Amino acid sequence: MREFFSNSEKETEIIAEKVAKDFSNCGVVAFRGGMGMGKTAFIRGLVRGLNNSSFVSSPTFAIVNDYGGKPHVFHFDMYRVNTWDDLYSTGFFDYMDNGSLLLIEWSENIEEALPEETVYIEIEKGEAENQRIIRIYGKDFSLEGIRN
């Protein structure tokens, strides 16, 4: 598990940008944490850190944004996905296993569909209003003591 502390949206983006390369071969990256925790902010930094200049925005209505690049990045928002039928209609399973990097907000809603090798990024609120604790765990992220 890797743990980071952020005190602003900008800091969250910078943390994500710094660790981005480690996600190149991750496949599915599932975000956990409630509304306004900074998932989209983290993804903005992550995409930038992969040298991908796409504009990152919340795909709440589109469900999936395609940012292209290498690795090919898809940004999902599962906020409105509540059933297996919903999930199939997003095309989620068609995006898996072809070397793409799938970044998934509101992964809590599709927990049972996530592959075993999923990497999780959990963001929770710290003591101060703008503080966030960011924890990354799963495949290849078992190293301890790496902090910003």
Ligand X SMILES: Nc1ncnc2c1ncn2[C@@H]1O[C@H](COP(=O)(O)OP(=O)(O)OP(=O)(O)O)[C@@H](O)[C@H]1O
Give the nearest distance from C-beta 58 to Mg ion in angstroms: 4
Residue closer to ligand X by CB (options 61, 116) is 61
Angle between helical axes of 39-49 and 9-19 (0-180°, round to 10):
40
Q: Evaluate whether 147 touches 3 at the Cβ level (below 8 Å).
A: yes
Residue closer to Mg ion by CB (options 114, 139) is 114
DSSP 3-state of 117: coil
Give the nearest distance from C-beta 99 to ligand X in angstroms: 25
List of residues contacting ligand X (CB under 6 A): 6-9, 11-12, 35-41, 58, 105, 130, 132
* Residue 102 β-bridge partners: 28, 74
DSSP 3-state of 24: coil
Q: Which residues bind Mg ion (CB under 5 A)?
A: 39-40, 58, 105
